[in-house]
Chains A and B, each alone.
Chain A
Amino acid sequence: MRAVITVIGKDVVGILAKVSTACAECNVNVMEVTQSVLQDMFAMIMMSDVSDCNIPFSEFSDKMKKLGEDMGLSIHVMHEDIFNSMHRI
């Protein structure tokens, strides 16, 4: 299953490193990364493959959320289907 990881917040050093390290620890493969700056806000979107994740998906999602809180960022991990169904016909 593919999940979309979004990281939104104020730009600081090492965001990509920390988030991708956390993914690697859980055996989550990052397939594609896009990042942009919107009104001083940093927004990064990572398409990832969580099928071989070594912890349950809900735990992974909580772990990333916690990481975001520690860094003062908002991190969401959501199944790609939610975006596909909302924005594709």
Chain B
Amino acid sequence: MLNVGDILETINMIEHEHLDIRTVTMGISLLDCIDSDIDAACRKVYDKITRYAKDLVPVCEGIEKELGIPIINKRISVTPIAMLASACQTSNIVKFAHTLEKAAREVGVNFIGGYSALVQKGFASGDYALIESIPQALAETEHVCSSVNIGSTKAGLNMDAVAKMGKVIKQAAQLTADNNCIGAAKLVVFCNAPEDNPFMAGAFHGVGEPDCVINVGVSGPGVVRAALAKSEGLDISGVADLVKRTAFKITRMGQLVAQLASKRLYVPFGIVDLSLAPTPAIGDSVAHILEEMGLESCGACGTTACLALLNDAVKKGGVMASSHVGGLSGAFIPVSEDAGMIDAAKSGCLTIEKLEAMTAVCSVGLDMIVIPGDTPDAVISGIIADEAAIGMVNFKTTAVRLIPAIGKTVGDELNFGGLLGAGPVMRVNTASPEKFISRGGRLPAPMQSLKN
């Protein structure tokens, strides 16, 4: 017989501490849909996605019911569309976005990611046209997410792409200015993008992946915070140990769901992404975990150290709980999606500079940060370059998802609703990096890249 305390602990985690599976993401390769005729390619893309993913939502709902654990999102990631676009003799790439949108609606998923380009070393044919079309694609679709990888430890940083993405982010916000600038919230700029990430907006199905795969992203900041709250007087080793034990339990959930989904969909299991992904709900905040460790507010001196401990302990605990760990795996720090981060940003305790330092030790980067709508393009590019440099030198994934709030300034707020939450407009240092950004070219890969 199972232990009564264990059973009640699990139920309490789900009922009161927001334990859930954040996403079951089906990765689908579209390499066999490439066609020089864009209409033919779109037809093949639609057919393949709707054929492979037709049971994704019902199967996940069945698992939810059976195990009693909520699966918040069902998503699809596809081969970076720039690879399909490269074969097409047309500039009207945005047709692909409409096709993805239509397929997503047909199968009932919450998001579809992969309107993407990988340009860390330069633009291949198709890449530039796709990047140009991103603002329009995100404005005209609801479920499609886009990402661009502009750098890697191996390749260095593509500074032409960095300059371009500053403009693209601004345009994406401008085209959706009447809808909380939501376009920019569905666009992420990566350095060292993982190919098996199940989380949006950055999910895409890498070229090294199999034809179809199931990746699962877990959640559970509320569980970690509650465990810490119940354990007074631990020294910092004890805190790390407690986080590890909790992360293990959370990840086991993800592993179980991934195995079941993989078996029932007849699709191989890829990875579990053992991330602590917050939601705007009270009690589901990564910032509150850091505060539980003993900070007055997230953003205080000591925040980076606490986050480093958290990020590391989550991985150590989770890695044994799953047969394959991948994706981003660590602690996310999206500002608008985290009640504690929102409060800290509003009070002025959490600044973009502090967030940048935190991204050196967290799993991703500057995420869901609302900035003034009049921030110059070059400044946005400068932020991307700084963030990508941290990723490049430290051999880690970093990302930038900034939302320029068109027509708004510091003190105002954008409200996206749902999982994306609401965020205050944060102050940005606007001293101009224009000359540096306009130089273009490639920032050379660091010594760390020469490992062979």
Contacts and interface: CB of A to CB of B under 8 A. Distances in A.
Interface stretch (A9-17, A20-28, A74-82): A74-82
A58 B62 contact: yes
A74 B423 CA distance: 35
A45 B7 CA distance: 8
Contact of B2 (A36, A43, A76, A80): A80
Contact of A79 (B3, B4, B15, B67): B67
Given A81-B256, A85-B252, A6 B8 contact: yes
Interface residues of B, number: 22
A79 B76 CA distance: 27
Interface string B244-275: 00000100110110000000000000000000
A32 interface: yes
B54 to A, nearest CB: 19
B431 interface: no
Contacts of B15: 74
Most buried by A among B6, B7, B67: B7
Most buried by B among A32, A76, A83, A85: A85
A82 B8 contact: no
B57 to A, nearest CB: 14
B68 A45 contact: no
Contact of B249 (A47, A58, A87): A87
Contacts of B10: 82-83, 86-87
Contacts of A76: 11, 68
A34 B6 CA distance: 13
A36 B4 contact: yes
Contacts of A79: 66-68
A18 B32 CA distance: 57
Interface in A25-66: 32, 34, 36, 38, 43, 45, 47, 57-58, 61
A83 B2 contact: yes
B293 interface: no
A17 to B, nearest CB: 21
Contact of A86 (B8, B65, B253): B253
A78 B6 CA distance: 13
Contacts of B256: 81-82, 85
A47 B2 contact: yes
B1 interface: yes
B249 A57 contact: no
A81 B258 CA distance: 13
A36 B3 CA distance: 12
Nearest to B61: A58
Interface in B1-29: 1-4, 6-11, 15
A8 B11 contact: yes
Contact of A61 (B6, B9, B65, B255): B65
A74 B2 CA distance: 19
Contact of A81 (B6, B67, B249): B67
B69 interface: yes
Contacts of B255: 85
A43 B66 CA distance: 21
A32 B2 CA distance: 10
B11 A47 contact: no
Interface in B54-78: 62, 65-69
A4 interface: yes
Shortest 4 CB-CB contacts between residues of A and residues of B: A78-B68, A58-B65, A87-B6, A85-B256
Interface of B: 1-4, 6-11, 15, 62, 65-69, 249, 252-253, 255-256
Given A4-B7, A78-B67, A81-B67, 15 more contacts: A6-B7, A43-B8, A45-B2, A58-B65, A76-B68, A78-B11, A79-B67, A82-B68, A82-B256, A83-B2, A84-B2, A85-B256, A86-B10, A86-B253, A87-B6
24 contacts: A4-B7, A6-B8, A6-B11, A45-B2, A45-B7, A58-B65, A58-B66, A61-B68, A77-B68, A78-B11, A78-B68, A79-B67, A79-B68, A80-B2, A81-B256, A82-B69, A83-B2, A83-B6, A85-B252, A85-B253, A86-B249, A86-B253, A87-B2, A87-B249
